[in-house]
Structures are given as C-alpha cells and as structure tokens.
Amino acid sequence: MPTWITSFDESRPLMNRLAREIIRRLREVLGATAAPVPLHEPLFAGKEEVYVRECITTGWVSSVGAFVDRFEEELARFTGARRAVALVNGTCALQLALRLAGVRADDEVLVPALSFVATANAVAHLGAVPHFVDIEPATLGLDPDKLKEHLAAVVEMRAAGPFNRHTGRRLAAIVPMHAFGHPVRLPELLEVAAAYGLPVVEDAAESLGSTREGRHTGLWGQSGILSFNGNKVITTGGGGALLCQDETLARRAKHLSTTAKTPHPWRLAHDEAAYNFRMPNLNAALGCAQLEQLPGFLRRKRALAEAYQEAFADMEELRFVREPAGARSNYWLCVLALNPAAATSLEAILRAARADGLMLRPAWELLSTLPMYAGCPRADLGAAEEWQPRLCCLPGGPALQPPSPIPNAL
C-alpha cells in the first residue's frame, strides 16, 4: 500500500487522536461526501457560458473587446478604485505595478517572507532583489512595527532616497500582502512608508472583497494588484488587475501593458520596451460572469468561516484564524493555527486528511528559504519562522457551504 493511503500511524496515538478530531470536525461542517473536497475550486453558476460564447460568435476573443472594458469598469465599481486595468495574471500585474512605482534593476523591494512565490518573482523579473521582512500573528501579513524598527536599523538616507547601508542598494518600494484575504494594518504601514518616501504597492491577489476600515484592499498604496487565477475568490481562468486612484498611472499601465503602441489608425509604432500583459476578452467574459456572483461568493465564504470557527472553538491544540480587528476579510482560505506541540503533527494531519478526501494544505514555505532567494537581504523573521510551520489551510471554495443554513447567509 502506498504510504499516502495509510491514514493513521498506530504507533503514535496522540497524533492519531488530533488528526481524527480535526477530520471529524471538518466533516461536521462539510458533510460526508464521497468525492474529494478540493482546497479551492471555482464555481461557475452564472452567465459564464453565455458570455464566453458571445466572444466566440462575435470573434472578439483577444486583447480588445467589450468584456475587457466592462470587467474593468465593474471591478473599479466593486472595489471603489478610480481605475482598474485588466491584465494576464497577478504576477504580471505586480511586475507592472512595481515598474510604475519606479523599481529598477538592482533596487531592493521589501516583501513579507510569508507569501506565495509570485510576490518575490515579480520583484526578480524586474532585476530587483526581494528584501524579506517579518509578519505579525494578528494578520499573518507584514508587521508595520517591526518594519519600522528594521528600517531604522538598515536605512541610510541619501539624495536619491533610502539605501540599505549593508548592501548599498536603493530601497524602492514596500509590498504588503493580505495573506489568505486578511488585511494587514495599512494605516500604520503607510505611515512608516511615508517616513522614508517609499511607495506602497499592495499585493491584494488574495483579498478581493476584503477591507480595512471600510476601504478596499489594494486602494491604500500607490497601486494594488488582484489575481483571478483558478483558485482565487473569482476566476478568469488566468488573470489579474492593477487598481489605482490616479488616471495618469492607469493610462501608463494600459500603455505599458499593450506593447507601448502609440495610437494611430494603421501605423505600428511603439515608444518603449514594454509588455504584452493585457487580459484577453475571452477571460474578461468569464470575469464579468464571476463578478456578478462575487457578493454571493463572499457571503458563502463568511458562512463557511463562521461554521469552521464554531466547529473548532473548543479545541485546545489550535485556533481558527479570524479576521483582524478593524478589518473585514473575504476569508479566501480558512486557516487553522496549531499550537507548537500540535504543529509537530501537521504532516500527519495533512496526510490523514488527504486519505479521507480532504485537501488540506500547509502555508507556503518561507520565500527566504527558497533556493533562488536564500541569499537575499532580510530582517529578523522570528514571527514568520514561528508561525509558518503552524498553519493549516482548510477547504474554502465558493461551492462549499456549511450543512445547516445560517440565517441570511445567502
């Protein structure tokens, strides 16, 4: 029998009890289904087929079309952004946002050590270097207080801006990431950034629908990015967007994402070495149909999070990660934080759950430990190192619902 089918190791009774208990409570919330329960699967319950078919019958499938404009307008309306620019994916959106923030080759960009690899990749694609900073337990995202301390220790202010006194490189931007949809402390972070004249570009890839003090994530810094990958809150197949409050910046984003083509009825001229990052109409059609369902998806996610929270409330070995104070989270992924003793059983819990058809997942390995980023500059990462091994992501797609209807949940 392959090892992954062995759900319990009978030689470790304590671990077995914990894994069994977690699985039992998950099944209470999710029901006893025969089919595997995915971590986060998309739901197509609206006009997806109608809109996509319209692209095909009209021939507008590529990077120009009515759905692209409509998707951008509706995204801006939903988030409250002045402008939204639809792009091929979240990684490219972040790369573009950072370039627009003035990040150049050999600059350093401050990013949280706990994030999906795309956050650091977008920096590296510009020839810049990620500089890893710590997270805080309350949000699992960038800690503004520790960032402040760290900058005070490493920054040397020069005429050209803040420099890392140890590497001699310019610090060019800060990229907070709202992990699992939970907004970081943006007001405090913006204050630290302003003290050094550092632009903030929010990686809001996971936080469509999440707000801090009533203001949508992605709107606090110079710009923010969203992702519409298959596992995000809504999907366009693959896709992303750049949000900003500045018309000029939005125009620059559009220009750079469409090969910097200069407007002319037939002449093919371009004025910068730019990108082909525009979202195709086909994907935007899917996006328009998904956006129509977004408020319902968010209600379902919250109902599921509430059901998980209740189901795990009395377990000493762990706690359910709740939205931070002052914020409303989209609960993109629901997360359990195991206490240190229980965390030693995380692998066993994941294995046992998978054998039971429940696709749990650990948090990302810290970016600072990945081979391509191991040599990058970093702050003290004590909290990231402490919490990363304790996190366990639960199934949370929009199709999942707790069994007993929660009043007004849908």
| Shortest Å distance, C-beta 256 to ligand PLP | 17
Closer residue to ligand PLP in complex, CB, 22/256: 256
| CB nearer to ligand PLP: pick between 99 and 232 | 232
Q: Please, what is the minimum distance in Å from the beta carbon of residue 225 to ligand PLP?
A: 7
Q: Tell the smallest beta-carbon distance from residue 236 to ligand PLP (Å).
A: 9
Rounded least distance, CB 161 to ligand PLP, Å: 25
We find the least distance from the C-beta atom of residue 6 to ligand PLP, in angstroms, to be: 31
User: Is-contact 321 337, C-beta < 8 A?
Assistant: yes
Query: Between 231 and 258, whose beta carbon lies closer to ligand PLP?
Result: 231
- Between 18 and 184, name the residue whose CB sits nearer to ligand PLP: 184
Question: Smaller CB distance to ligand PLP: residue 115 or 257?
Answer: 115
Smallest gap from residue 380 Cβ to ligand PLP (A): 22
> Token digits for 120?
């650091």
Query: Considering the complex, what minimum distance in angstroms separates the CB of residue 91 from ligand PLP?
Result: 3
Decide whether 115 or 223 has the Cβ nearer to ligand PLP: 115
Torsion of CA 143, 149, 151, 153, to 10 degrees: -150
Q: Which is nearer to ligand PLP, 37 or 111 (CB)?
A: 111
Three-state SS string across the chain, please? CCHHHCCCCCCCHHHHHHHHHHHHHHHHHHCCCCCCECCCCCCCCCCHHHHHHHHHHHCCCCCCCHHHHHHHHHHHHHHCCCEEEEECCHHHHHHHHHHHCCCCCCCEEEEECCCCCHHHHHHHHCCCEEEEECECCCCCCECHHHHHHHHHHHEEEECCEEEECCCCCEEEEECCECHHHCCCCHHHHHHHHHHHCCCEEEECCCCCCCEECCEECCCCCCEEEEECCCCCCCCCCCCEEEEECCHHHHHHHHHHHECCECCCCCCCCECCCCCECECCHHHHHHHHHHHHHHHHHHHHHHHHHHHHHHHHCCCCCEEECCCCCCEECCCCCEEEEECHHHHCCHHHHHHHHHHCCECCEECCCCHHHCHHHCCCCECCCHHHHHHHHHEEEECCCCCCCCCCCCCCCC
Name the residues that contact ligand PLP, by CB under 6 A. Answer: 89-91, 115-116, 118-119, 177, 203, 205-206, 227, 229, 232, 240
CB closer to ligand PLP out of 131 and 170: 131
Identify which of residues 65 and 224 has a Cβ nearer to ligand PLP in the complex: 224
* Residue 285 beta carbon to ligand PLP: minimum distance, rounded to whole angstroms: 18
> 386, 140 in Cβ contact below 8 A?
no
Q: Which residue of this chain has its Cβ atom nearest to ligand PLP in the complex?
A: 90
Shortest Å, Cβ 231 to ligand PLP: 7
